[in-house]
Amino acid sequence: MQQKEMYPGIDCFRLWAALLVVAIHTSPLAMFGSMGDFILTRVAARVAVPFFFMTSGFFLISHYAENANRLVRFVKHTCLIYGLVIVLYLPVNVYNGYFQMEQLAPNLVKDLVFDGTVYHLWYLPASVIGAVTAWYFVRRFDYPKAVLITAGLYAIGLFGDSYYGLAEGVWGGESFYRFLFQLSDHTRNGVFFAPVFFVLGGFIAESRRETDLFTSARGFGVSFALMLGEAMCLRCFGLQRHDSMYVFLLPCAYFLFQMLLHVRGKRRKRLRTLSLLVYLLHPMVIILVRLFAKGLHLQGLLVENSVVHYVAVCLLSVGGSMAAAGVWERYGPHRKDGGNRRSGDRTYVEINLQNLEHNVRELRRAMPSGCRLMAVVKAEAYGHGSFEIATHLERSGVRAFAVATIDEGIRLRTYGIRGEILILGYTDVGRAAELKKFDLMQTLLDRSYAEELDRQGVRVKAHIKIDTGMHRLGELSVETGRVKQMFELEHIDVRGMFTHLSCADRLEEEDVAFSKKQIDRFYALVNELRVEGVRIPKLHIQSSYGLLNYPELRCDYVRAGIALFGVFSSPEDDMIVHLDLRPVLSLKSKVVLIRSLKKGECVGYGREFTAERDSRIAMVPAGYADGYPRGLSCGKGSVRINDCLAPVIGRVCMDQLAVDITDAGGVEVGDTVVLIGGEMGEGASAPELAGRCGSISNELLSRLGTRVRA
Ligand SMILES: *Cc1c(COP(=O)(O)O)cnc(C)c1O
């Protein structure tokens, strides 16, 4: 279900980049003199491989923070490809006399780890080492530091590459690099070259909205021109030992990538595969074209005419790669479904991100202009999984989040969330430094708490909570003086002030009167503070029901939780504003066993269910440890199988439950079971189920077990 971002610009350029690499190895402009060839193959084409690294970094690193699975998959995948192409090129190695060389073993190790057994294959080990190195630094430090460190490595690489002439002259430089070159033929490898591009790719993934098209295009133009100048000078002074690395290659690759991100549309995943195949296969094609030309005595046309040679190699490489990709697609191993495979084996949460986006739009429609949506993603985004929800919300333009605890806030930061994050609940003041480090805003529970936090001596951003009648957290709204003091604390940077309504979800007259009183108290305080000369910060009052029942308020934020996830708390709730909200989460499982029951036989613990007729029952591997409430035992709950409702029979166990499918038509083992999901009235929606066991959707969803999420 996870939606893949679509960057056709990146996908298309990958193919162009691969063709640039072909140019490096065929020198199409050679017949017109050396300058054109130098500019094309030694300068312009040098953006190709960094671009590949950045693409991998872009799609991978931003998710590394969560876990290492993607990295492990990337490394395995790359190693597998590496193994296959090594085998593919073995005949070439044999032909070249590779295995006759002296000191075969150490050279073989060196080639496998750094240089590649055929010259262009260095790219694959460099990807693996580069990805792991980049990942390590991003995890260990933050992005700016990781960029600095890997740029440092790149600098070391530069002096072993196109600035070698300078390093040679420096004391110790020559011996240092001589030592390096014993380990790896070039510094253009996984240690010095690749990591910085992986980190930059990841960095862009998390901040990509920040450079507009014009800035990126200008940045690219300028840095490309500078790189060209740089290359010319180096060539002029004869400093280059090799010509893969330039100082201005870094900004050049960065801005190029930014620029391509602006191309939106349908994803071209096949082009990615194709470009990799072209990269890997083109040397083979070069050999074949040469052999073919020799056989037919066409060397004059096919080889010596460098343009024809290049075009022939390109066409054959692309054609061959398309054929290979087709074969792979047909006969290669395929994953059945994306992402959730492991948990999909049993009971799993399915998230509908389109519905989430839809709900964001609906809520925004009800909000006054100038008011921002603060997405409440506490408790794993109400059980939906905070990583997937928060990263997607940020991509859809949400810039403010709220959580319940500091650790939830820190987790959002490690997921790469950049928007503001407000902690709604208590945080031990001893953790003030972490609040600052992760740029989290703390709710001030009352004045004494604020003072204690202030005493930590760390500058912390905060929102003041005002108690207007809920009597949970907050400084009393009548205590104007105390509230004012909070604004004056030296280390507290008050960014907001808010209150919470205690019965915004009810429309009985008394409740409405109470809510209005709360709202009046809040604004009375705001006015008094204003009179006292306090600069009024951002204000917010409404949660989901606050917005739906008091849409007329003009606040700076709406703190929406449950509505964002497309369900109401209870089935009987009524609202002033009617929005088309759609449920985001489904809890699904499958039928693992079907059995027949004779009249009079019992099911489950305590023999609570006795068949009143000959029955068919299905076992579902989901229980209260997965978050399916035990309160839904014995017919209170029902599940949907193939659009029929099947009642839960007997007691819900920790890990499984039984349903009666006698009337549910032709259910079979393996059929999907919807435990929670669908619209209200369909029998398995969160509000209905919650209502039937004396709770609300919020509790039902937020208590989903950890084992149902991937
Ligand atoms: C949880 C919470 C919210 C979100 O409430 P919903 O009813 O889920 O929208 C808003 N404000 C505060 C203070 C909360 O604790």
Query: φ and ψ at 231, to 5 degrees?
Result: -65, -40
From ligand 1's centre to the CA of 279, what distance in Å?
52
pLDDT at 66 over 70: no
The predicted-structure confidence for 428-465, as pLDDT tens digits, reads as follows: 999 999 999 999 999 999 999 999 999 999 999 999 99
What are the distances in angstroms from CA 283 to CA 234, 339, 403, 607? 28, 35, 54, 72
pLDDT of 335: 46
Q: How far apart are CA 570 and CA 559, in angstroms?
A: 19
Helix (H) or strand (E) holding 16: helix 8-26
pLDDT at 128 over 90: yes
Pocket perturbation via mutation, ligand 1, pick of 539, 543, 548, 699 by most ligand atoms within 8 A of CB: 543
Q: Is 30 in the pocket of ligand 1 (CB under 6 A)?
A: no
The predicted-structure confidence for 213-247, as pLDDT tens digits, reads as follows: 889 999 999 999 999 999 999 988 888 888 889 99
The predicted-structure confidence for 520-536, as pLDDT tens digits, reads as follows: 999 999 999 999 999 99
pLDDT of 342: 44
Determine the average pLDDT of the residues in 196-203: 92
pLDDT of 333: 60
Q: Is 162 in the pocket of ligand 1 (CB under 6 A)?
A: no
From ligand 1's centre to the CA of 561, what distance in Å?
6
pLDDT of 609: 93
pLDDT of 586: 96
Determine the average pLDDT of the residues in 486-513: 96
| Mean pLDDT score of the chain | 90
192, 156 Cβ separation under 8 angstroms: yes
Q: Is 314 in the pocket of ligand 1 (CB under 6 A)?
A: no
pLDDT at 169 over 80: no
pLDDT of 3: 33
Give the SS3 label for residue 65. Answer: coil
The predicted-structure confidence for 253-263, as pLDDT tens digits, reads as follows: 999 998 988 77
- Tell me the percentage of the chain whose pLDDT exceeds 90: 67
pLDDT at 168 over 90: no
From ligand 1's centre to the CA of 123, what distance in Å?
50
Pocket perturbation via mutation, ligand 1, pick of 360, 374, 424 by most ligand atoms within 8 A of CB: 424
Identity of residue 321: S
pLDDT at 205 over 70: yes
The predicted-structure confidence for 402-418, as pLDDT tens digits, reads as follows: 999 999 999 998 888 88
The predicted-structure confidence for 67-99, as pLDDT tens digits, reads as follows: 677 788 889 999 999 999 999 998 888 888 888
pLDDT of 298: 86
The predicted-structure confidence for 308-351, as pLDDT tens digits, reads as follows: 999 999 999 999 999 988 887 777 665 444 333 444 689 999 99
Least confident of 233-237, 423-427, 497-501: 233-237
Q: Is 390 in the pocket of ligand 1 (CB under 6 A)?
A: no
Token code pair at residue 394: 């940020």
pLDDT of 665: 83
135, 72 Cβ separation under 8 angstroms: no
Give the SS3 label for residue 163. Answer: coil
From ligand 1's centre to the CA of 566, what distance in Å?
14
Least Cα distance to 701 among 582, 567, 591 occurs for 567
- Give residue 65's pLDDT band: very low, low, confident or very high (50, 70, 90): low
Q: In what order do the strands lie in the sheet with 672-676?
A: 348-351, 585-590, 672-676, 638-641, 644-649, 657-660, 615-620, 593-597
pLDDT of 337: 40
What are the distances in angstroms from CA 532 to CA 451, 481, 483, 487, 525? 20, 9, 11, 12, 11
pLDDT at 658 over 90: yes
| Tokens 């011996």 sit on residue | 175
Give the SS3 label for residue 257. Answer: helix
Active site residues: 378, 605
pLDDT at 617 over 90: yes
